[in-house]
Amino acid sequence: MIDVARVREDFPILGRTVHGRPLVYLDSAATSQKPRAVIDTIARFYTDDCAAVHRGLHQLTERATAEFEGARQKVRRFLGAREDREIVFVRGTTEAINLVARSFVAPSLAADDEVVVTAMEHHANLVPWQVVCAERGAALRVAPVTERGEIESDAFERLLGPRTRFVAVTHVSNVLGSVNPVGRLVERVHRHGARVLVDGAQAAPHLPVDVAALGCDFYAFSGHKLYAPFGIGVLYGKATLLDAMPPWQLGGEMVASVSFERATFRESPHRFEAGTPNVEGVIGLGAAIDYLGRLGLEAIGAHERDLLAHATRVLADVPRLRLVGAAAEKIGILSFVVDGVHAHDLGTVLDREGIAIRTGHLCAQPLVERFGVPAVGRASLALYNTHEEIDALGRALRRAVELLG
């Protein structure tokens, strides 16, 4: 187990109050808080080494470029990728998925082809495929989810066929916390000759990820959920696929040569990183990965599993509260409804107690509606949370139920 008290000292914001009460931050699935190691790294970059990367020969740009590309190596190791050029820096998971949709899937998708998603996808891993399929006359197929919040395995298998060209699946549901067996799913998809993108936005902060072992063709995650800055994300793609993909955005840095008649483009990853990148975001992401490495992913995982078990027991004792999703394998995401009380009202009352949760359809409206509710409350756990915070959530929920009737 990690030393949670010591870890909490690394996160300055956890010492603040909200409405006169100590902050209880239970919204890390929306965005994680940032450790001082990341904050200080960004401040040091701006203080000592601020310069555009990959441009110029002066010392500042050389140092900034070395840090930038060093962070790419850290991400490559973090994901278990084989080559640095398989790591593309983007703004976040959403941009990564759109890049694949536009640069890899759309150019070859034909009428009557099929793209498969699951019923638990975030809008970012659903809407791009809806639009691409509509433009190309292809069909979007949706694998159903069980009442427990797991992909129906047999139904998923039946959707795969000779017209399947691409499959997009989340590694971990942002609503249910369900951990999908993506390795097995990828193997099934590849038997049908299709390619797979895995949305790892909720998995990367909590689970060891090995893209080589998973066998996926693409993997995407966002830095801001991984204790890193906003506005930075990662697309992993197999080198052979990235090399065959046209650039999605055009401009500086991604070109090899330019004349008034034509332009040629650099190899991956630079052909997908047009313009001046989010240098401080990339360097901050590298610092976040270093921070997690010092704590140890196994120790973090053990702590978060303990939190999940405790939170499940605490919420089960709240009158009229029902948890949504009970997958056999899940991470610390607990979505819930209280009979007769709207989730937004719950969120407002909890905020007055200093407790931050998420409410609504969580950018997964079809999934929430599949469970027969318009909105849920969601408490999401991270390495800096404690049993005492979960107990405070339970007490606040019981008071809210009494207050709201």
Measured distance CA(39)–CA(97) in Å, rounded = 28
Give CA angle at 105 (98, 232), nearest 5°: 25
Coil, strand or helix: which one is 378? strand
Which amino acid is residue 223, in one-letter code? G
Measured distance CA(324)–CA(190) in Å, rounded = 32
221, containing H or E segment: strand 218-222
Active-site pick, 50, 133, 216, 363: 363
Catalytic, 363? Answer: yes
**Residue whose token pair is 């703004």:** 91
The Cα-based distances of 122 to 246, 285, 322, 343, 362 in angstroms read 26, 23, 22, 19, 8
- Count of H-run helices and E-run strands, the chain: 14, 17
Report the side by side order of strands in the sheet with 164-170: 87-90, 233-237, 218-222, 195-199, 164-170, 114-118, 139-143
Contact 334, 304 (CB under 8 A): no
Contact 361, 335 (CB under 8 A): no
Which amino acid is residue 212, in one-letter code? A
Measured distance CA(128)–CA(281) in Å, rounded = 25
Which of 226, 270, 266 has its CA nearest to residue 74?
A: 226
Q: Which residues are catalytic?
A: 363
